[in-house]
Every structure is written in C-alpha cells, then in structure tokens.
Amino acid sequence: MIAETHAASLRGLLITARLDVEAMMRKLANAGGGLSIELERAASIAQAKKCVRASDYDVILLDGGSNNDVEQTLLRHVVGDGVFQGPFLLFLDKVDRETERAACEAGASDALELGKLGPPLFELAIRYAVARRRSEEQLAALQLFDSATGLARQPLFWETLALAVKRARRHRDHLAVLLLHVDGLALGPSGSDLTQHMARAVAGRLTTCLRASDTVARFDHDQFVGLVEGMPRVEDIQIVAEKLIEAVTRPIDVDGRGHVLAVSMGIAMYPAGALSAEGLIHGAVNAMLYARERGGNAFHFH
C-alpha cells in the first residue's frame, strides 16, 4: 500500500540481503538534499511482503544484485501476486539497455546501476518514481484507455512517449513516432456502432503489425499513433509504415460490403527529427498534414 505523504518526506522499503548495499542506500537517503527518506530494510521478498502488509510506503527499493533474469524476478516474486503496488526502483550491479527495458516492462519505474549512483541521481529517481505513480493514479481517474478499441488514450501515450525519450537519451538509442490520420472512419456519429466497429478494426490491424514491445494509441477520434523503439534505420521504419498503410487500407466488412479507408501518416524520429516528446508529436503532425495534402495513402518523414 502506498502512503500519501508530502514529496519532501517519504518512507521507503529497501529489499536487500547485502549489508554494503544497505549502508550505501542509507548514506544516499541521508545525503542532505531536498528529499528526506526514512528507509526500512527487509532482507528478503518474504520479509518485505510482511512489512508492506503492516505499513505504508511511498517507494520500494529492490536490490537485484547481479541477477540478469530481471523480468522474471520482478514478475514472479514482486509484482505477480499483487502485494506490492509500487512504485519500484530496481538497483543492479550492471544495467544495460535491454535490462532496463525488461525491468520497466515488468513494472519497475527505473533500473539503476549501483556503481553509478550518487545523491543527485538517487533523489531524482525517487522523486520521479513517486511523481509518476501519482500521475498514473490521476490519469486512471480520467480513463486511460479508449472504450471502443481498448487502446491507450492520448494522456497515457504522452506519458509513455516521455519515458521512451528518457530511455533513448540515456542509452543513445532511437525511436519513431508514427501518427496516422484515417479518412472515412466515421460512418455516423462518433459513438455509433458502425464507427466503433471501424475503429476497432483499425486498432486491431495496427496492433497486429507492430511488435509486442511497441505502443499503439488512439490519439484522437480519427487519429492513431504508434511508438516504435530500438529501430534506428530509416529504411526499417519505412517498412513498418508501408505495412501499417497496407493493413489499414484493406477493405473492412460493413454489413457485407467492403469499406475502404484512406491513411495519411507522419513520422518523426528521435534523435534525428526531434529531441522531446512534444517535438516528436509536433513533427509527426506536420509530416502527416504534408502527406494528407498530397492525396493520402502515403507517409512523410519530418
């Protein structure tokens, strides 16, 4: 259970069997920055579960040591049974891009390398994890997912994109935002059964074309957006774009008749096209408008 405390004073649960890691974390927690962290230690996952059932914590600090099976460790022992509700910070002896991605996909707010940890990064990571969880709770109240398609809505996509940019910047990686404007989607009022049917069909086709690690969201009534990470070559993004357009423009059965949509797509890449979430969306929108002005069923790079 997560306590609702002021950002300047937090309670944290440190899960570690290593006394040297405990000493390091307590030193960082008492480094005298703008954040006060009261740390309690649990030597095992089992002990930590007892602590969480008995007390409230703002953040969970998990020492993963040299364990490379990060995703399974988090899912099976920490996140899986629902006892811990996060936010989590995972600390490892060594962190690479794939380890960090696996940790975040498994439910951690971040994965940090112990040898590179200093007071500023420690405080920033905890502030970010707590703020992110509170933001998630606020977004949940605003309905994070589109009721017709099951896709993430725009507020959740913005947060997902911001985190992706953060990861890409840290690891000097690449990502692409693909914004699709779909013409012909509305066969009636925005909430009509036919329009909902069309939107679900489009969502399903987009999701099928992309990888499980990619993100698809409904950005607006007639706009969808994809986030593709770890794909640096323009040629590869172009192949993805062609697949998406081909999939969406295939006829959709509506009362026994094939209804054909038109798609205009704008693409912005990090870091070549923009360096922020806002810049990527702005670039993708402008590129989409350029493609649309030229007749649609095409894509354009920002």
What is the per-residue burial (b if ≥16 Cβ within 10 Å, else e) of 174-202? bbbbbbbbbeebeeeeeeeeebbbbbbbb
Whole-number Å distance between alpha carbons of 10 and 175: 34
Domains of the chain: 9-141 (3.40.50.2300), 154-301 (3.30.70.270)
Return the bridge partners of 84, or none. Answer: none
CB 63 within 8 A of CB 112: no
Region 96-112 average pLDDT: 79
> Is the pLDDT at 66 greater than 80, yes or no?
no
| Residue among 156, 160, 146, 242 at smallest CA distance from 203 | 146
Higher-pLDDT residue of 70 and 284 is 284
Higher-pLDDT residue of 54 and 138 is 54
Confidence of residue 25 (pLDDT cuts 50, 70, 90): very high
**Could you count the other beta carbons within 10 Å of the beta carbon of residue 287?**
23
Lowest mean pLDDT among 14-18, 60-64, 141-145, 196-200: 141-145
Higher-pLDDT residue of 190 and 33 is 33
Whole-number Å distance between alpha carbons of 43 and 56: 18
Higher-pLDDT residue of 119 and 6 is 119
To the question of pTM greater than 0.85 for the whole model, the response is: no
How far CA 51 is from CA of 45, 83, 250, in Å, comes to 10, 10, 55
Higher-pLDDT residue of 30 and 246 is 246
Region 13-39 average pLDDT: 88
> Is the pLDDT at 3 greater than 50, yes or no?
no
Confidence of residue 150 (pLDDT cuts 50, 70, 90): confident
Burial class (CB in 10 A: 0-12, 13-18, 19+), 47: middle
Backbone torsions φ then ψ of 278, nearest 5 degrees: -65, -45
How far CA 57 is from CA of 66, 88, 152, 169, 180, in Å, comes to 25, 11, 28, 30, 42
**122-135, pLDDT tens digit by residue?**
888 888 888 877 77
**250-283, pLDDT tens digit by residue?**
998 877 788 889 999 999 999 988 899 999 999 9
Residue whose structure tokens are 């030193």: 27
> Is the pLDDT at 155 greater than 90, yes or no?
no
